[in-house]
Structure 1
Amino acid sequence: MVHFGALLSALLLASAAAASPIVSPRTHLSFPPVPVTAKGLLCRVPIPIVQQVLCPRAGSANPSVNTPLGAAQGVADANGAVRFAVRYGQAARWQPSSVVTSWQFPNGNANASELPLACPQFNIDDSAMSEDCLSMLIYVPNTVTPGSNAPTLLWIHGGSFTAGSATGPGLDGSSLAAATNSIVAVVQYRLGVLGLVSPNGQTNLAAKDIMTGLSFLQKVLPSFGGSSSKITLAGQSSGANLIRGLLAIPSAQSLFQSAILQSDPMDYGFLSAGAQQTLQNFFIKQLPCSSSDTTCLNKLSIDTILGAQDSLINSAFSLDPSTGAGEPIRLVHDGSLITSPLDGTAPFPHVSKPVLVTNVKNEAGLSIYGSTPPITVSDYEGAVSSAFGTQPGAAILQNVNYAVATLASASGTDVASTQDERPTLERLGTDQIWRCPTWTFARNWVGGGGRAFVGLYVVGASYPGNTDITAFCGENGVVCHQDDIEIVFGTAPSPNAPQAALIAEMQARYKAFLNTGNPNVPGHATWNAATTGDVHALTLGGSGEVAAGGCDPSFFGKIVPYDYQLFGI
């Protein structure tokens, strides 16, 4: 038996050549292309050089703050915050990073207004990226001054571990900082094989980069009015996955107090040590160097490394199906740094930090509707049956949440061959990969001694590129993957009334969570903490709690296993 997500990942890889009507919910979830129709939209393109030239910040003052690492110069922002761009870490290629010993602008920049270059990745110009990319943008509101003891939110961007940057669309932290009266830092970390697949066997370098960033913040935050002991991690998609990894690292626990995980595809699980070794072996074979030839490895061009990475990503599923196709390069449960899978495949460790975990209503919509023609009833039922096996497949097709609702045709048309089942597949993909494993995680977290708050966005702000998927993500009432980002940051352009109300609510809730570990605030519905029996998922942008549906604990994770259970990760 092959699990549904894994099967559809394979079908997706074949569909480009064979025009298969079936598409996986596990397509690559990096930053989508942005239509360039006006300067305002250009400012949302995640290319630093474009933003530097066309989108200068409103403020021109250059405030200076003395830190233990030297003088920090910033740029005043019209939203009531000062932005500081800084290089926080340094690292040799495929080696752990360390905290810098002096305050430096990123990439040898000459002034505070210049933004950091992105870490090496596909689909951006060489001039917009650099291997020397361990930088962050720190936003300090005018209300926070030395002695304020303010909390800090450290945002970790998404992008399937292969894309994204601190200058990505909607990640200007000034409005969020001002609204929450907190310091907001947006951090970069090494991506792809440079951060997660090392010829020398180093693992989880990207997670170690975040730990370096946290150590840097603990050194400098008091100089800005922040508390070194009140740091909350927050991130979306693979950024949230990174946070889950940090929650499983004993040596990282003293570096932050709480965590916010948005749209983490928890079904994937961490990679196993065996899968990681398989990827590493294949990657080495793509390079013109041996794993022990450090001199040769250090001379490799970024283009050569990214080319080998591309070969690895395209081959990962066939090398080891547990890698899937959504995030084949990801964190590994190595047993030394990451010591727990944080799921039901091993005893859950004792935990104490409060966590806030959320999903959006249509997590799988962007993937499924992005490149998929309509899926017939027979295609859908056949894929489910063959993927899950007889008993789990039958259970899915009989579950009211995922069963085909075949309508009678007055004209005598064969509905089974004409009815589009992408909406059904979208529900199944959203629940299997994102929502249900998130709810399982919350129950496990509570069982381990921690406190968890669970939510589901039913209102969002279409992330740049999502509205290109007009067949679905551009429709009213649809909230696709990434559509929560500009709600949290308050960067949605011209928000309508529901969006504006949700921005105000979520920023108020985040302010409370940063300070107390509890997102409840006067004037808004009570957000009940999860229990081991009921996660009490709050509808964000609507009212009441979200019905469990297929996420009842007796279904996913029991009758239908998650990928991490199936592959024993």
Structure 2
Amino acid sequence: MVALLALVASLLALSSQTAAVPVDASRTSIADLKFPSIPSGAWWCEYSPPWIQEFLCSRSLSTSLSTSVSTPLGTAEGAVDTSGVVRFAVKYGSADRWQPSSVATVWALPSGASNASGLPLACPQNDLDASGYSEDCLSMILYVPSSVTPASNAPVLMWIHGGSFTSGSATGAGLDGSALATATGSIVAVIQYRLGALGFMAPNGQTNLAVKDTITALQFLQTVALSFGGDASKITVDGQSSGANMIRALLAAPSASSLFEYAILQSDPMDYGFLNTTMQSSLQNYFNQQLSCSASDTSCLDSLSLDDILTAQTSLSNNAYSTVPAAGQSEPIRPVRDGDLITSPLDLTAPFPSQSKTIMVTNVVDEAMFTIYSEFPSAISASYYDDVVDGTFGSVSGSRLLSYSSYAPSTTNADGTQDARPQLSQMGTDQVWRCPTWTFARNWASSGGTAYVGMYTAGASYPGNSDVPECTDSGSVCHQDDIEIVFGTAPSPTSAQSALITEIQARYYQFLRTGNPNSGSYATWSATDGQAISALELGGSGTYAVGACDPSQWGDAVPYDYQVYDI
């Protein structure tokens, strides 16, 4: 008995010493505390109380994170990052040029990685040195936190990056999934997919190859998730800007529905809509004319250099608007409603199909600020503002827009001059992002699904946004400024940013498991009822005002682009 008491006393002393070890405040379980290593063969572990066995003895086997995991595709080798998360870079699929991708059948490091610590090369894109990309680029990075064990059945979040379908990668700024994985107790997969002409402009007329790449990534996760402690039935897709547009394409593809449970769409430019097959065909014909090969000459097409393809892509992007006005100037290369993979426009141009999934859709308050203030670096007068609006929307829609109180020019500078750029920025935000998103959410809920609508009223300035000084002003939240909040990667965050990161990741923790983003004492986030939108302010308090996103205004009195062009 004396010996047993001495053993218990020594163990309690050991546990009290470990209590002094710094603990990551984002962790929520005692199982995540870092206990010192105990010899796995310690004889007394067998006779200790259960709690000691769980947190001192058995835990000693898992505190040294496993970087080698057996999967149905072979052994996965990973690397521990500075946060203690194990990172696995892997090739999830492969594809011949301008052909559909197929799921990987063996576990293999991605192009650009010579060992488990390596990261994938990006997919080919302009404005990136050729040494930084590879056509063999269908890769993802898995982030597996220490809290996830083989028996965890943890949720999986698959992130799809933005970049107007022509740029971006899994290694983009702020996309390190370690903090997000740790805070949510989930496996985070950050993927990349074929971009631009290689993903959307197959000369033989095949469409949506890039969309099919994301489906291939989901199929890969279905195969390997369990090996890492993930639950293949609890996959959430999340993406920002064109990444969110890609998720909307997945939601419109019945064949993809069984591969994920929930969806999060951040800053989707829904005003553009999917292209239809006639528009895609016209763009395709223009692109093919830029190539030195016929559409049927596979050998010639395969021999084209990536420089030649990217040059032809640039020409298409520069001339898409004049070739097909519906393509627009900002995102002319995008998913196509082909009637095969993507079967619905998911907008006001056709009956909305029945839905059952739960989605979260968010915007930031100044979506259009970077674009507007880049185009107009100096103040614009009220009269010039009127001319810009009329010239953009036509006199009828223009006069209606100018009659809305939301867009009345009223900003006066310190010197007494007027500047209507804030109103133009608000109009652009409402037109391209916020109002079509709210329309989409109403339709989603009215058709049987569940939609939570949010508005980021605070954020973290994303790299590059400082090119527009107004985007760094206090209170501004420009396009992309939500990314580092979600991932928890904001450098030197303020106390307000840290609080918002903690809140968003707590909401994600719940949403990934239950489809409900409500957590603890945070403000109640109500789903839309299909009529009224209760957009929760993320970083503020209360709900964001409807303003010009009233259903009788955008989408009715003033049509969206997808209505104007009957996409």
Task: Give TM-score scaled by structure 2 length.
Answer: 0.87
Match of 1:396 in 2: 401
**What is the CA–CA distance in structure 1 between the aligned matches of 2:145 and 2:176, rounded to whole Å?**
13
Are the equivalent residues in 1 in contact too, given 2:112–2:118 (CA < 8 A)? no
For residues 70-102 of structure 1, what are the alpha-carbon distances to aligned partners after superposition, in whole Å with 9 as ceiling and x for unaligned? Answer: 000111122231100000000000000000110
Amino acid at match of 2:505: Q
Match of 2:320 in 1: 316
Match of 2:386 in 1: 381
For residues 460-510 of structure 1, what are the alpha-carbon distances to aligned partners after superposition, in whole Å with 9 as ceiling and x for unaligned? Answer: 00001112311x101000000000000000000110011000000000001
Match of 2:428 in 1: 429
Matched, 1:218 2:217: no
Shift of 1:62: 6.9
**What is the CA–CA distance in structure 1 between the aligned matches of 2:535 and 2:565, rounded to whole Å?**
28
Distance 1:201 1:408, change over 3 A: closer
Root-mean-square deviation (CA, aligned residues, Å) is: 1.6
Are the equivalent residues in 2 in contact too, given 1:75–1:112 (CA < 8 A)? yes
Shift of 1:61: 7.6
Amino acid at match of 1:373: P
2:560 to 559, 562, 569: 562
Task: Give the 5 Å matches for 1:259-338.
Answer: 259-338=263-342
For residues 288-338 of structure 1, what are the alpha-carbon distances to aligned partners after superposition, in whole Å with 9 as ceiling and x for unaligned? Answer: 000000000000000000000000000000001100111000001111110
Matched, 1:360 2:364: yes
**What is the CA–CA distance in structure 1 between the aligned matches of 2:437 and 2:538, rounded to whole Å?**
16
Match of 1:21 in 2: none
Structure showing greater relative contact order (alpha-carbon pairs closer than 8 Å, 6 or more residues apart): 1
Match of 2:448 in 1: 449
Are the equivalent residues in 2 in contact too, given 1:207–1:246 (CA < 8 A)? yes
* Structure 1: segments with no counterpart, 5+ residues: 1-58
Are the equivalent residues in 2 in contact too, given 1:62–1:112 (CA < 8 A)? no
Which runs of at least 4 in structure 1 moved beyond 4 Å after TM superposition?
59-62, 406-409
Are the equivalent residues in 2 in contact too, given 1:169–1:464 (CA < 8 A)? yes
Match of 1:18 in 2: none
Shift of 1:141: 0.6
**Rg: which structure is higher?**
2
3-state SS of the aligned residue for 1:107?
Answer: coil
1:132 to 124, 136, 148: 136
Are the equivalent residues in 2 in contact too, given 1:60–1:76 (CA < 8 A)? no
**What is the CA–CA distance in structure 1 between the aligned matches of 2:540 and 2:248, rounded to whole Å?**
27
Match of 1:543 in 2: 541
For residues 159-208 of structure 1, what are the alpha-carbon distances to aligned partners after superposition, in whole Å with 9 as ceiling and x for unaligned? Answer: 00000000000000010000000000000000000001110101001110
Match of 1:117 in 2: 121
**What is the CA–CA distance in structure 2 between the aligned matches of 1:407 and 1:482, rounded to whole Å?**
28
**What is the CA–CA distance in structure 2 between the aligned matches of 1:136 and 1:534, rounded to whole Å?**
38
1:521 to 519, 522, 526: 519
3-state SS of the aligned residue for 1:136?
Answer: strand
For residues 48-84 of structure 1, what are the alpha-carbon distances to aligned partners after superposition, in whole Å with 9 as ceiling and x for unaligned? Answer: xxxxxxxxxxx99871000000000111122231100
The alignment of Structure 1 onto Structure 2 pairs a total of residues equal to: 504
Are the equivalent residues in 1 in contact too, given 2:70–2:227 (CA < 8 A)? yes
Shift of 1:382: 1.4
Match of 1:420 in 2: 419
Residue identity over aligned pairs, in percent, reads: 62
Shift of 1:531: 1.4
**What is the CA–CA distance in structure 1 between the aligned matches of 2:405 and 2:243, rounded to whole Å?**
33
3-state SS of the aligned residue for 1:454?
Answer: strand
Amino acid at match of 2:538: L
* Structure 2: segments with no counterpart, 5+ residues: 1-62
Distance 1:108 1:459, change over 3 A: closer
Are the equivalent residues in 1 in contact too, given 2:445–2:451 (CA < 8 A)? yes
3-state SS of the aligned residue for 2:533?
Answer: coil
Match of 1:55 in 2: none
Match of 1:29 in 2: none
Amino acid at match of 1:133: C
1:553 to 548, 551, 567: 551
Shift of 1:408: 12
Match of 1:48 in 2: none
Distance 1:376 1:60, change over 3 A: farther
**What is the CA–CA distance in structure 2 between the aligned matches of 1:312 and 1:408, rounded to whole Å?**
41
Task: Give TM-score scaled by structure 1 length.
Answer: 0.87
Amino acid at match of 1:499: Q
**What is the CA–CA distance in structure 2 between the aligned matches of 1:404 and 1:169, rounded to whole Å?**
36
Amino acid at match of 1:343: D
Amino acid at match of 1:532: G
Are the equivalent residues in 2 in contact too, given 1:176–1:490 (CA < 8 A)? yes
Matched, 1:351 2:349: no
**What is the CA–CA distance in structure 1 between the aligned matches of 2:348 and 2:316, rounded to whole Å?**
29
Shift of 1:123: 1.0
Task: Give the 5 Å matches for 1:215-254.
Answer: 215-254=219-258
Match of 1:180 in 2: 184
Match of 1:439 in 2: 438
Are the equivalent residues in 2 in contact too, given 1:366–1:466 (CA < 8 A)? yes
3-state SS of the aligned residue for 1:560?
Answer: coil
3-state SS of the aligned residue for 1:401?
Answer: helix
3-state SS of the aligned residue for 1:473?
Answer: helix
Match of 2:10 in 1: none
Amino acid at match of 1:498: A
Match of 1:23 in 2: none
Match of 2:53 in 1: none
3-state SS of the aligned residue for 1:106?
Answer: coil
**What is the CA–CA distance in structure 2 between the aligned matches of 1:146 and 1:376, rounded to whole Å?**
62
Matched, 1:258 2:257: no
Are the equivalent residues in 2 in contact too, given 1:60–1:75 (CA < 8 A)? no
